[in-house]
Amino acid sequence: MTLRWNKAGGWSRIAGAALALMMLSACASVPEDPAARAAFEEENDPIEDFNRYIHELNFAFDQLVFRPIAGMYRTGVPARLRGAIRNFFDNLRAPVIFVNDLLQGEGERAGITLARFLTNSTLGLVGFIDSADMLFDLEFHDEDFGQTLAIWGAGVGFYLVLPLFGPSYPRAAFGLAVDSFIDPWDTLLRAAGVEYGPPARTLLNAVDLRARNIDALDDILRTSIDYYATLRSLYRQRRADEISNGLPSALQPAPLFRTRDEESHLMPPRPTESKDRRVDATPYGTSPVFDESVGADVIVQRPQTSELY
């Protein structure tokens, strides 16, 4: 399972999206009961049967091939070297992050990305050492064109499990294809005649990502009663968190956040505008109303459908 990918995945993802669109003919019908419909819209998974099928294939491949390889990578390669490899890949991502920072109007973050790239490519020995973070406190952040589209207000589409690549949305998949055009390295490698370069990069990137998620995913698999539904929810929330750059959004619970129309809290309100992480913004309303299902006054907020995941 991957939460993010770069390069080479782009085309497969588009193919996957096209395939999924064809599957739409077989999609589930929208429930008439309002409560069931609210839940249906929250899951945003009209092609669930198809998605579950791909999920099962992915899961089998993951358990038989991918996870074991990632496990060998984790035990065979010392932690420090793995860290250096991760730094190297992160540094290669700088052009994509920089362009998307700019496209999102995040001048300061674009500056940080540029400064990091210049520092780490030189002082950091072509990126193997994150000297920008160590020396100047310039922390890594990621961006992709899917997030840029979200900021621009493009709709997310529907939940889509891609073969090999796992959870996605058409918007995110399209974003990755655009990112692969922004990314200069694979083009440079091919121009230099290093044909195995781009696939090797994609593969190692994937193995590293999977290796870092081994414990977390094992734990989720062990404790969940519906692995598919859990991953779907996880991906949706992670994506919203990435798009809001870690700002606590209202997708997070706001535990007192209920409404008299008991299903409408299924609709997460739109995250607030600011992109700073630790802000005083509170995502819920402030007018207590008696809720009979709770037997107490609760805070009510008008539900809004979020486009931001």
Partner 1 sequence: MSRAVARSGVFFSLAVVASVALLTLIAPARADDMARNAERFVAELAERASALLSDEAATPAERRDRFRNMFRESFDVPEVARFVLGRYWRRAKPEEREEYLQLFEALVVRTWAPRFAVYQRERFEIVGAHAADGANLARVSSEFSFPDSDPMRIDWWIEGASNTYRIVDIVVEGVSMRVTHRSEFASVIRTHGGRLEGLLEALRKKTAQLNTDPQ
Which residue among 197, 248, 264, 272 contacts partner 1 (CB under 8 A)?
248
Residue 115 CA to residue 128 CA, distance in Å, equals 16
CA of residue 123 relative to chain centroid, distance: 30
Asked if residues 101 and 109 have their Cβ atoms less than 8 Å apart, the reply is yes
Instruction: State which residue, 34 or 68, has the beta carbon closest to partner 1.
Output: 34
Binding mask 250-279 for partner 1 (x = CB under 8 A): -xxxxxx-----xx--x-----------x-
Residues within window 34-93 making contact with partner 1, judged by CB under 8 A: 35, 39, 42-43, 79, 82-83
Query: Is 251:268 a contact under the CB 8 Å cutoff?
Result: yes
Interface with partner 1 by CB under 8 A: which range of 19-27, 62-70, 194-202, 243-251? Answer: 243-251
Tell me the longest C-alpha to C-alpha distance in the chain: 70
**Residue 295 in the binding site for partner 1 (CB under 8 A):** no
Rg (CA), the chain: 21
- Of the residues 105, 155, 199, 246, which one makes contact with partner 1 according to CB under 8 A: 246
The nearest distance, CB 263 to partner 1, in angstroms, is: 6
Kindly tell me which of 182 and 234 has the beta carbon lying closer to partner 1. 234
Which is closer to partner 1, CB of 199 or CB of 246?
246
Task: Report, in Å, the least distance between residue 188 CB and partner 1.
Answer: 28
Query: Can you give the binding site for partner 1, defined by CB under 8 A?
Result: 35, 39, 42-43, 79, 82-83, 212, 219, 222-226, 228-230, 232-234, 237-238, 240-242, 246, 248-249, 251-256, 262-263, 266, 278, 280, 282, 284, 286, 288, 293-294, 299
